[in-house]
Structure 1
Amino acid sequence: MSSLRIQFVLTTLSQCDGSGRKEDSSAHGLKSDTQNVREFSVNLASDRQYVFVDTPGFDDTYRSDRDILCMVAEWLEKKYRNKVKLSGIIYTHRITDNRMSGSVCKNLDIFSALCGDSAAERVRLVTTMWDKEKDRKLSEGRVNQLEKNFWKPLLDAGARHERFNNSSVSAWEIIRSLMGEGEAVLLQEELVDVERKLNETTAGKTLNRQFQRLLFEQKETIKQLEEEAKAQKNPELVKQLEAEQQRLEAELQKTWDEMAKLKIPFFRRLVLLFSKKPQSRKIELKLPVL
């Protein structure tokens, strides 16, 4: 009897749209659903077992982006140290989304930093919710934009776009295309093979740059609110503006705190210049300014 072959498939960052959020059927609207890395096993008759791994998405309702990255990194590192490689990585995007929002672009940027070019052939960029899109011409135009712009570097590196048609047949067609030997992703190489800390990895640096952009935007918004409050004669409106300013200042402090945790000391930056480098490289995407 042949031994059971296990295929690990990571469904990373989201289940529906690449933004890490799923539609909640309750009255609360959109909110994060997956809170931890979860594994689901499926045994097939052909002595093959699939392990599907669902991860929390960024822009989570309850946890910071750094906490989410730490959680995913810890899982990836543990599996890699146990000689487990991913058979595939599935990134999903709703075809009903009429634009690439800032959060989707941000997640795609971290995704490329996490995967790296060596694992690109194991990546499936899956468009979902085709059954919800009534205007076929419009949805095909969105696919064209994704493939020729936002996803092009990933596709050029070997990733493939697949369409999920909301059926088990469609799902298994995507899964079967990922059969075969697994591949280490860039984040695993950096954490294990070259012994970097999370904040020193490409994904950690990418997240830190996103925090820096967010910090700049928050400072600019606070400055505009201060000027607007000074110019207003309406006491009630001034009160509202000041309340919003206080809220943003609290968010600003959170951003500072997250950046501090990702900061790389000067001495470590020097060491990294001369240390061993991973074989994989980040796939640089052509994204709008986030």
Structure 2
Amino acid sequence: MSYTPTRATNKSMKWVRQRRPNDDVLTDGFNCSDFVVAIMGATGVGKSTFINHIAGRPVSEVGHALTSCTQKVHHYVYAHHSGRRIVLADTPGFDDTYVDDSEILRRIAVWLASAYSKDMQLGGVIYLYDISQRRLTGSARLNLSMFEKLCGPQVLDKVVIGTTKWNAKIQVQAAEREDELKRDFWASIVEKKGKIMRIQNTAQSCHDVLDALLPAQNAATSSGQPSARGSANPLRIQQEIVTEEKLVPRTEAGKTLRFSLAEMLASKKQDLRNERDEETRAKLQEDVDFLNQQINELHASFFQRIVYRFL
């Protein structure tokens, strides 16, 4: 499918080379008056449920097990009560059951690049976190780290961290956990005026979170003043892919993922050296091979970078 070049002179269309045939990207019918809101978080935190509540109908498949239902980026158009058209992006987590993390990163990066090349404004990013988890797991840490690198510090004021899975039985413990997360893991987001909100399993609660991202736009719309095109900062990954013409592995998110995978690989190799049970060793060897494969996919050679940049 063809792409219409952006009118912004500092944007490149080279990102299209990193697209694959089955990727979900934004093509015709979208423009600079649309607002993009990306929904991120680990598998099972409630991203699809959130979008279904916003849409008022089941538009995104909801999983009820540990396996992921969202393996690609899917977008849904929503008419906000302010009159703005919102494009919600349902993104897979960096712990997908069937797709490796390097491929997840590429899919998210390509979709966001397609939105940025259309001059679509960043409404914000909603990061969902399962508050019922008793500790910050390795998967949750990776997703949070990747989220921060995808966003960059310049847009943290357009971030809402939505905590999900609240219930009466865990209310006290979850509130203590929320305070700890704000203090130890989400401090940079809070410092940059990002919001922390509790999400109940209701449509109203989800709409409240979405409304919290768009107060300035809502005010401008109600007063009849158009918001300035391109006035909002883009995500860091959008700048890197579209403006700076980087390959996905060379982005900050790509480097962070490669480092995290290398740490996991070292741990698995140590476990493999110490393990004596043959069945367990075979499983560990599979893990080592899979991690090696992902790290190799995140390696962009000097020749690849030169070809991509200048040809």
- Report the TM-score range of the alignment, normalised by the length of the smaller protein: 0.7 to 0.9
- Which of 177, 193, 205 aligns to 2:243? It is 193
- Which of 85, 108, 116 aligns to 1:80? It is 116
- Which of 89, 109, 127 aligns to 2:163? It is 127
- Which of 37, 51, 67 aligns to 1:9? It is 37
1:100–1:133 Cα change, 3 Å: farther
Give the number of the structure whose alpha-carbon radius of gyration is greater.
1
Q: Which residue of 1 aligns with 2:273?
A: 223
Q: Say whether the 8 Å CA contact 1:133–1:139 is kept in structure 2.
A: no
Q: Which residue of 2 aligns with 1:176?
A: 211
1:112 pairs with 2:116: no
Q: Say whether the 8 Å CA contact 1:11–1:55 is kept in structure 2.
A: yes
SS at match of 2:37: strand
Q: Which residue of 1 aligns with 2:85?
A: 49
Q: CA deviation at 1:201?
A: 0.4
Question: Gapped runs of 5+ residues in structure 1?
Answer: 230-240, 276-290
Percent sequence identity over aligned pairs: 28
Q: Say whether the 8 Å CA contact 1:19–1:58 is kept in structure 2.
A: no
| d(CA) in 2 for partners of 1:150, 1:257 | 30
**What do the CA deviations read for 1:68-99 (whole angstroms, capped 9, x no partner)?**
00100110111111112320100011121111
RMSD in angstroms over aligned alpha carbons? 2.8
1:133–1:217 Cα change, 3 Å: farther
1:148–1:31 Cα change, 3 Å: same
The more displaced of 194-203 and 171-180 is 171-180
1:20–1:110 Cα change, 3 Å: farther
| d(CA) in 1 for partners of 2:271, 2:185 | 28
1:144 pairs with 2:144: no
Q: Which residue of 2 aligns with 1:281?
A: none
Q: Say whether the 8 Å CA contact 2:40–2:47 is kept in structure 1.
A: no
Scaled by the length of structure 1, what TM-score is found?
0.79
What aligned pairs does 1:224-243 form with structure 2 within 5 A after superposition?
224-225=274-275, 229=276, 241-243=277-279
The more displaced of 37-46 and 195-204 is 37-46
Amino acid at match of 1:160: K
**What do the CA deviations read for 1:81-135 (whole angstroms, capped 9, x no partner)?**
11123201000111211111110011101111100011111110001122x2423
Amino acid at match of 1:187: I
- Which of 143, 146, 155 aligns to 2:190? It is 155
Q: Say whether the 8 Å CA contact 1:19–1:104 is kept in structure 2.
A: no
1:45–1:18 Cα change, 3 Å: closer
| d(CA) in 2 for partners of 1:103, 1:125 | 17
Q: Which residue of 1 aligns with 2:253?
A: 203
Q: CA deviation at 1:165?
A: 2.1
Amino acid at match of 1:219: K
Amino acid at match of 2:188: P
Q: Say whether the 8 Å CA contact 1:190–1:196 is kept in structure 2.
A: yes
| d(CA) in 2 for partners of 1:52, 1:126 | 15
Q: Which residue of 1 aligns with 2:10?
A: none
The more displaced of 206-215 and 246-255 is 246-255
Amino acid at match of 1:162: M
The more displaced of 157-166 and 173-182 is 173-182
The more displaced of 139-148 and 39-48 is 39-48
Q: Say whether the 8 Å CA contact 1:7–1:87 is kept in structure 2.
A: yes
The more displaced of 50-59 and 179-188 is 179-188
| d(CA) in 2 for partners of 1:145, 1:9 | 27
| d(CA) in 2 for partners of 1:243, 1:23 | 34
1:257 pairs with 2:266: no
| d(CA) in 2 for partners of 1:126, 1:24 | 19
SS at match of 1:99: coil
SS at match of 1:12: strand
SS at match of 2:162: strand
1:214 pairs with 2:264: yes
Q: Say whether the 8 Å CA contact 2:126–2:160 is kept in structure 1.
A: yes
- Which of 270, 274, 283 aligns to 1:247? It is 283
Q: Say whether the 8 Å CA contact 2:132–2:174 is kept in structure 1.
A: yes
Question: How many residue pairs end up in the alignment?
Answer: 251
Scaled by the length of structure 2, what TM-score is found?
0.74
Q: Say whether the 8 Å CA contact 1:12–1:55 is kept in structure 2.
A: yes
| d(CA) in 2 for partners of 1:152, 1:71 | 28
SS at match of 1:135: helix
What aligned pairs does 1:260-279 form with structure 2 within 5 A after superposition?
260-265=296-301
